[in-house]
């Protein structure tokens, strides 16, 4: 009889240089996609602080908005917006391939699923934008 | 081969939902609250903003908008660090990432319930 193994065997990881993803455009795009989440998370934390400042009163809120007007924060948020858009575009294109939508016997072509997602995205964004434009 | 039970599907589910929320809602809110409002392109007064955020349904909306994409971040951040070769630190990285998202969820609840 063989003894049961005391611990599970370690997983094998090929040794790759830290910069392996720079070698092909597709890998760079993959890394940028992953990295977009970091920019989105930082925006969300800043936004949460912004909401917290609301409660601290009009002066604190105005002071926080003034901070966001500084060139550093504007530059960061412009870059973050580009990453957020990249996430949305790649996400809709990707889910259209992964998520198979059927109508009866026929499969809805992925490009149509993506188009529907893009259309919904545009409508949702415009509704939110106009909500603030008209009722702000 | 024995299959090991892991919490992977749970975190992956949150990753996926967070990805959807981020894709649909983050760009417009980022543009609004981090660029358009501070720069005065779309003026939203403190009183107006506070009245909006005070509404229970808006609070629920903001909770979804802020908390769920944090799990999306956690999952991706975890694999960025592993992908650049930090396999030895697998467990601490997972704890840091998902722990960060949980902490963010608690902070979001705390802020929204106090406004």
- Phi–psi pair at A103, nearest 5 degrees: -120, 105
Whether the model clears a pTM of 0.95, i.e. scores above it, the answer is: no
Q: How many Å apart are CA B32 and CA B25, to the nearest integer? A: 11
User: Mind telling me how many Å the CA of A105 is from chain B's nearest CA?
Assistant: 27
Q: Please determine, for residue B16, whether its predicted confidence score (pLDDT) is greater than 90.
A: no
**Predicted pLDDT of residue A2:** 56
For residue B1, is it within any domain? no
Q: Under an 8 A CB cutoff, do B22 and A61 touch?
A: no
**ipTM (interface pTM):** 0.88
For residue B7, is it within any domain? no
Q: What is the pLDDT of residues A100-125, one digit of tens each?
A: 778 788 888 888 889 999 999 999 99
Q: Under an 8 A CB cutoff, do A68 and B34 touch?
A: yes
Domain count along chain B: 1
Residue with the larger pLDDT of the pair A7 and A113: A113
Segment holding A103, helix H or strand E: strand A102-103
Specify the CATH number for the domain of residue B33. 1.20.1300.10
Residue A87 forms contact with B (CB below 8 Å): yes
Q: What is the pLDDT of residues A43-93, one digit of tens each?
A: 999 999 999 999 899 999 999 999 999 999 999 999 999 999 999 999 999
CATH for A23-135 is 1.20.1300.10
| Domain region containing B18 | 12-114
């Amino acid at each position: 009889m063989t003894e049961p193994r005391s611990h599970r065997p370690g997983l094998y990881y090929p040794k790759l240089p830290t910069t392996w993803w720079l070698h092909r455009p597709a890998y760079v795009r993959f890394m940028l996609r992953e990295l977009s989440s970091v920019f989105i998370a930082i925006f969300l934390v800043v936004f949460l602080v912004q909401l917290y400042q609301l409660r601290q009163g009009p002066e604190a809120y105005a002071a926080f908005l003034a901070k966001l007007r500084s060139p550093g924060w504007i530059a960061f948020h412009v870059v973050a917006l580009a990453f957020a858009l990249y996430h949305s575009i790649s996400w809709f294109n990707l889910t259209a391939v992964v998520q198979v939508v059927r109508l009866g016997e026929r499969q809805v072509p992925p490009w149509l699923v993506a188009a529907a997602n893009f259309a919904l995205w545009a409508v949702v964004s415009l509704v939110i934008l106009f909500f603030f434009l008209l009722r702000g | 081969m024995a299959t090991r039970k892991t919490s992977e599907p749970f975190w992956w589910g949150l990753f996926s939902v967070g990805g959807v929320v981020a894709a649909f809602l983050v760009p417009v809110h980022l543009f609004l609250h981090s660029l358009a409002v501070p720069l005065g392109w779309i003026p939203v007064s403190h009183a107006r903003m506070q009245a909006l955020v005070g509404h229970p349904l808006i609070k629920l909306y903001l909770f979804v908008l802020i908390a769920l994409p944090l799990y999306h971040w956690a999952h991706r951040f975890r694999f960025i660090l592993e992908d650049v070769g930090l396999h030895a630190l697998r467990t601490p990285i997972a704890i840091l990432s998902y722990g960060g998202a949980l902490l963010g969820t608690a902070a979001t609840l705390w802020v929204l319930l106090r406004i």
